[in-house]
Amino acid sequence: GAVVSQHPSWVICKSGTSVKIECRSLDFQATTMFWYRQFPKQSLMLMATSNEGSKATYEQGVEKDKFLINHASLTLSTLTVTSAHPEDSSFYICSAPDTRSYEQYFGPGTRLTVT
């Protein structure tokens, strides 16, 4: 199947700083990518839909000014957590859908720890 990568796999940052997470589709083009957040022992929660060449669509309750999403190319979407706080510590996962089927390809996730 298709491969989606994320970078970094884990990151530790200090409170108040910003962190950028990259999501790449390695062998296919993705006009749409999804960003999920997962807290320990909980399920994945959709944060936003990243659209190539246009603004991202955010789910209710997700601050668009805090979680900046840029989908600059057909293979790359980035999520920037601005002015991170300890409560932003979580596991962030991106995915890209196969537009010819009902399957989605998930990245390996990025563990963010804000100290």
91 lies in the binding site for other proteins (CB under 8 A): yes
* Binding-site member from 32, 70, 82, 113 for other proteins (CB under 8 A): 32
49 strand-pairing partners: 34, 57
Taking alpha carbons only, the member of 67, 65, 68, 76 closest to residue 32 is 76
100 lies in the binding site for other proteins (CB under 8 A): yes
Taking alpha carbons only, the member of 64, 22, 30 closest to residue 47 is 64
67 lies in the binding site for other proteins (CB under 8 A): no
Q: How far is CA 70 from the centre of its chain?
A: 10
- Count of residues that interact with other proteins, criterion CB under 8 A: 29
28 lies in the binding site for other proteins (CB under 8 A): no
The least distance separating other proteins from the CB of residue 111, rounded to whole angstroms, comes to: 6
Rg for the chain, CA atoms, rounded: 13
99 lies in the binding site for other proteins (CB under 8 A): yes
The least distance separating other proteins from the CB of residue 21, rounded to whole angstroms, comes to: 13
